[in-house]
Structure 1
Amino acid sequence: MWAFGRASGFASMLLLSASVLLGILTRSGRPLVQLPRVSVSLLHRNVSLMAVVFLIFHVGALLLDSYAQLHVTDVFVPFLGSYRPFWQGLGTVALDLLAAVVVTGLLRHRIGQRTFKLVHWLSYAMWPVAIAHSVGNGTDGTSAPVVAAVVVVSVAVVAAVAWRLSAGFLETARLRQLHGQWRRP
């Protein structure tokens, strides 16, 4: 279970990173290579779902593993764990933030677009907290492959967030047309 918990945590980290990247691209309203915008949105949703599934595998495996000594309260209440409580607590905080994003995503049509978007911004807080948990709490967190993966996804996400916050990021085709940045082939 220990190895499965580590591997599923690593997979979840990679998938969450891809989800953040795809979410930013989805919000831009631009296509991805040959994928139309609607397909980018569906890809974002499916990658996000896979990230959540692997996160459930990660937490479930560590709950069942005798070495990890993870307790149910550790999953919901941060910084109480017996093993590296700060780093484990960051994982709990990331899980709680992700749960809020997932729940509002599922209730999107009932809570309204404005509330959904407001809560969805928590993804920008959740991602670095989850990355810090991966590096600080993971037994492989300082291994060359994990460090390399963290560097690659960090550069990609930081660049995408910088683009998202830039003046060149226009969210609708109408705004891009008005600013002369949208050209159809």
Structure 2
Amino acid sequence: MDEAMWAFGRVSGFVSLALFTVSVLLGILNRSGRPLLVLPRFSISLLHRNIALLATVFLGLHVGSLLLDSFAKLNPVDVVVPFLGSYQPFWQGLGTVALDLVLAVVVTGLLRHRIGQRSFKAVHWLSYGVWPVAMAHALGNGTDVSSGWFLLLAVASAVAVAAALLWRLSPSFLETSHARQGRVL
């Protein structure tokens, strides 16, 4: 049973990281106001939100399965308070930080109508910090880090996110408000 939990924990972490990568890319694309191939902008927004929620579900499965695994030796405190774990506390702590940031984004997303758009957006900016922290956790704590398939995912994800961020910060990035008004920079 422990081997099954350990394998499920690894796979769910991998899937969560891949889905969060896609979510970051779709979030940046959504902010630009551009369509994706044949998908209109509102579909990109829904896809971004649903993929982020699915990534969060897999993150919960990742943490939950490792809590049940006797090899991982996680306890509930390790899940909430970073850098206290018994196995590689720094790298495990980065995973805890990423989890805490994801929870902050999810909670403010659920309370968006009560806390206001400005507060939601301020916390949502943490998403830019979640991804590299989660990637560092995977690279430092992941047992598949020497596997070719994992390195391929990590490099492809890092290149895609870096390219999207460079585009996001470039002068040619078309903001949503400009797109609605039909202006192109």
TM-score scaled by length of structure 2: 0.94
Please, which of 4, 9, 12 is the counterpart of residue 8 of structure 1?
12
From 68, 84, 90, the counterpart of 1:80: 84
Query: CA shift at 1:174, angstroms?
Result: 3.4
Verify: 1:97 aligned to 2:101, yes or no: yes
Tell me whether 126-135 or 172-181 shows the greater mean CA deviation.
172-181
Q: Which residue of 2 aligns with 1:171?
A: 175
Render the CA deviation track for 1:21-60: whole Å, top value 9, x for unaligned: 0111111111110001110000001100110010010000
Distance 2:132 2:176 in 1: 27
Q: In the alignment, what sits opposite 1:160?
A: 164
- Measure, in 1, the Cα distance between the counterparts of 2:136 and 2:145: 9
**Does 2:58 align with 1:54?**
yes
Render the CA deviation track for 1:148-171: whole Å, top value 9, x for unaligned: 100001000010011111111121
Partner AA of 2:29 in structure 1: L
Note if contact 2:138-2:145 (Cα within 8 Å) is conserved in structure 1: yes
| Equivalent residue letter for 1:160 | A
Using the alignment, how far apart are the partners of 1:38 and 1:146 within structure 2?
A: 32
Distance 1:178 1:50, change over 3 A: closer
d(CA) in 1 for partners of 2:102 and 2:120?
Answer: 13
Amino acid in the other structure paired with 1:53: V
- C-alpha RMSD over aligned residues: 1.3
Hey, what does 1:25 align to over in structure 2? 29
Contact kept, 8 Å, 1:62 with 1:69, in 2: the verdict is yes
| Counterpart residue number, 1:113 | 117
Identity of aligned residues (%): 67
Could you say which residue in structure 2 is the equivalent of 1:150? 154
Residues in 2 aligned to 1:107 and 1:116: alpha-carbon distance in whole angstroms: 8
Q: Distance in 1 between matches of 2:33 and 2:159?
A: 22
Structure 1 runs (4+) deviating above 2 angstroms are 172-181
Amino acid at match of 1:134: A
**Structure 2 stretches lacking a partner, 5+ long:** none
What amino acid is the match of 2:70? S
- Check conservation: 2:178, 2:184, Cα contact below 8 A: no
Deviations 1:50-78 (A, max 9, x none): 10010010000000001110010000000
CA contact (8 A) 1:134 1:141 kept: yes
When the two structures are superposed, what TM-score results if normalisation uses the length of structure 1? Answer: 0.94
* Contact 1:11–1:51 (8 Å) recurs in 2: yes
Bigger mean CA offset, 160-169 vs 81-90: 160-169
